[in-house]
Amino acid sequence: MKTIEKENLYVAGTYKRFPIEIVSGKGATAVDSNGKEYIDLASGIAVNTFGYSDDEWIAAVTKQLTTLQHTSNLYYTDPCVELAALLCEKTGMKKVFFSNSGAEANECAIKAARKYAENKGNSTTILTLLNSFHGRTLTTLAATGQETFHKDFLPLTEGFAYTPANDIAALTEAFEKYSPCAVMFEVVQGEGGVNPLEYDFVKKIEELCTANDALMICDEVQIGNGRSGKLYGYMHYGISPDVVTTAKGLGGGLPIGATMLGERVKDIFTYGSHGSTFGGNPVCCAGAVNIITRLDEAMLSEVIKKSELIKNTLEGSEGVESVTGLGLMLGIKTAKPAGEVVSRCIENGVLVITAKDKVRLLPPLNIPMEELKKALAVIKDACR
């Protein structure tokens, strides 16, 4: 295949791709270069919130694209202001910094935490969780509590310490040992295997952060933007984070990252203290406004309904050991190796991916029920 041969010659070999070239898509259906159709339950890794070529989203993006594609942050533009206001209204956060990816959104959160600590003369150590994933830049790699990602790239940015997820005693000890200025965590560890944090553990993070004037930073890059069944995953835990980062599904397929700043850090950044050439790009923001506007109660309850359908169909089914996660970010622990199940699904026209030793499902939030049911039958068969 021409594309694959060319790729091997010219594209850096960072990705182990499935041997498929996707050429087009509509809704939850992707089409490869041989004309084969797939029901896509991965959504470009939680990016295509409303699937491929969604009409409303295309209209919003095209309108902006043909009006003004970019002008830099030296001038005011409306789409980024509209998006910031929308995000703040819907979350209670106070201000937003825009970037282009999850890693950058987290970099901004880390800079906010460092500056907050610096201003107060506190320790600059940031506590993160083992088995977390926060991105691929040197600093977000340092924040990522998995050594396999660190090796070959040392030295990483200093000032991170790690503690195991769902271990309240270890968390308390880590606070005593490091007096961290912030704790950064995913309420559902995505790359780590789709593992939700326990309610009591998250509440303890909040309690310790409040008592020790540390910032609570929620990395909502993957679980955010409606995927959990609430607008943001932390909302399931009744906590009020100081910083919320998101990206992936925010733009519905366009590159955008957002770092939402709460009351304590809303004015932490001042002229010149942070920036991004493409940050707040009008086209990406117009796409994101469309996505966030459509994540209303009806859409979120549909997410929960579909989540329940998936769990009810797969739990207890032959070869399925467990289903973990929230909303439409689910991990299936299978008796067979996850990679084998994924290959079998692809052969049978369903795109799913892995997360550690699990099969991971991240379908578009608006996938039609009938298509979801068809895909689940294929998955069920592949697990058996």
Ligand X SMILES: *Cc1c(COP(=O)(O)O)cnc(C)c1O
Contact residues toward ligand X (CB under 6 A) are 101-103, 106, 133-135, 186, 190-191, 219, 221-222, 247-248
CB of 129 to ligand X, least distance (A): 11
Nearer to ligand X, 243 or 247 (CB): 247
Question: In whole angstroms, how close is the CB of 219 to ligand X at the nearest point?
Answer: 5
Residue with tokens 């049911």: 373
**Shortest separation between residue 47's beta carbon and ligand X, angstroms:** 9
Least distance CB 319 / ligand X (angstroms): 27
CB-nearer residue toward ligand X: 182 or 320: 182
Q: What angle do CA 345, 347, 349 make, to 5 degrees?
A: 70
Residue 321 contacts by C-beta under 8 Å, 6 or more apart in sequence? 333, 334, 335
Q: By C-beta, is 330 or 383 nearer to ligand X?
A: 330
Q: Which is nearer to ligand X, 97 or 133 (CB)?
A: 133
CB-neighbour burial class of residue 32 (10 A; exposed 0-12, middle 13-18, buried 19+): middle
CA distance 259 to 237: 20
Cβ distance to ligand X smaller for residue 101 or 163: 101
**How far is it, in rounded angstroms, from Cα 300 to Cα 306?**
10
Query: Closest CB to ligand X among 98 and 344?
Result: 98
Tokens of 120: 């107060």
State the minimum distance, in angstroms, from the CB of residue 309 to ligand X.
24
To ligand X, the closest distance from the beta carbon of 12 in angstroms equals: 15
First and final C-alpha spacing in the chain: 32
* Number of residue whose CB is nearest ligand X: 102
Which strand ranges, in their side-by-side order, compose the sheet holding 358-361? 320-326, 329-334, 358-361, 353-355
CA separation for the pair 243, 257 (Å, rounded): 13
**Structure tokens given for 280:** 């707040």
Cβ within 8 Å of residue 44, ≥6 positions away = 253
Which residue number, 133 or 175, has a Cβ lying nearer to ligand X? 133
To the nearest whole angstrom, how small is the minimum distance from the Cβ of residue 20 to ligand X? 21
